[in-house]
Structure 1
Amino acid sequence: MGSWDPEKGSKGKKKKTYECEKPWIPWLLPTIVLANIIIFVLMMYTNNCPKNNKGSKGKCVARYLGRFSFQPSKENPLFGPSSNIMDKWGALQWSKVVHGKQGWRFITCLWLHGGLIHLFANVLSFVFIGIRHEQQFGYVRVGVIYLLSGFGGGILSSLFMQHTTTVGASGALFGLIGAMCSEFLTNWTIYTYKACLSWLYHLTIYFLLVA
């Protein structure tokens, strides 16, 4: 008869032990959020509304911020820089992409924002949608979806809004939403009631932010 060993279990058989998996700590999307904030601050620094504003469209908003103050609300109601500054930083314009051969604007426009409100909405969307995605699928997949969706959104924007300057990562964020919807519809049978409510909650928050 086999002897009892508390380390090995009954009859000398080694007991199986399981180690808890370490939780994945997202880093890609928090880095993107931080980069967006830094770029917006630098863009406002170069904007320097008190010096460059001609006064034809009103006074700078929040002049106590000095060179970080915003353009007049008639020019930019989102509390941000002038269109000229956004253009210099790489905003997407159909004419410059097609006639000026500046295809790099499809990428640079993803890192720019039209104003503080625009930046705030995108940052919250990253927090509610993007970080959850990275925790679930990893930074490689999320990074690929983010870049491809943002690039595709820029192409559609330049085709259908040819006379408009475009900035922001809305296309990339909608790509993440599409990935979330696809994953949910594919695996909906394994979701619990609470998971469904959580998924709908995140989706609702995003559409409220971009509405």
Structure 2
Amino acid sequence: MYVNDCSGHRNPYGSCVAGFLRRFSFQPLRENHLLGPSSSTLQKLGALEWDKVVHQHQGWRLVTFWIGIIYLLSGFGGSILSSLFIRNSISVGASGALFGLLGAMLSELITNWTIYTNKASSLFTLLVIIMFNLAVGILPHVDNYSHIGGFLTGFLLGFVLLIQPQFIWLEGHNLPPTDRVKSKYMAYQYILWVMSLILLGIGLIVGLVMPFRGVNGNDHCHWCHYLSCLPTSRWSCRN
């Protein structure tokens, strides 16, 4: 939405939706009824288009769907954590992958903090949504390990795949040469990128090896079972 910059262009379809967001406002509903950017912006950022792939040999458009990568790897990470702790029941569903998208949204907000307006409200709203959904996972018959594993995987992937240049660097062409910044990213963004990549690699490799060696996560964490089911007077977690 930053690249789209609806408020910075005149639009024949009408005014921007949620204009108070200014640069991050959405295209008019007549142009994009799904609350998003324009088609030209999507094409610029790597949208899949047959003509460009086949006739202009832009095969890279086949693999630029970052959200798909986050979704699949988060589902994989959720399954790994689930296999370490769940022994006497089955687990199905895509909720681990969906929680990965929530984790990626949170890390994307953190690492790209400088380009956002209404930072505090965005962070608070996202945290409430995450905590509410994780809290639902303590009900019986819900695989919260998959949710947590997917969330952590997506959270780390967001730092790696969704990093954006700092706001001052993006606006550098409008500033005099003496005021322009040379670094495209801030130091904390580089640090988060490296740390997340290392933790993600170690976590996926170790987590993948341990189940095949018969490791039971419950033997090493005696309170972790409360993360997936919290017993109350209304239900039991034994089964």
Specify the TM-score bucket, using the shorter chain as the normaliser: 0.3 to 0.5
Pick the structure with greater CA Rg: 1
Under a length normalisation based on structure 2, what TM-score does the superposition of the two structures give? Answer: 0.33
TM-score by length of 1: 0.37
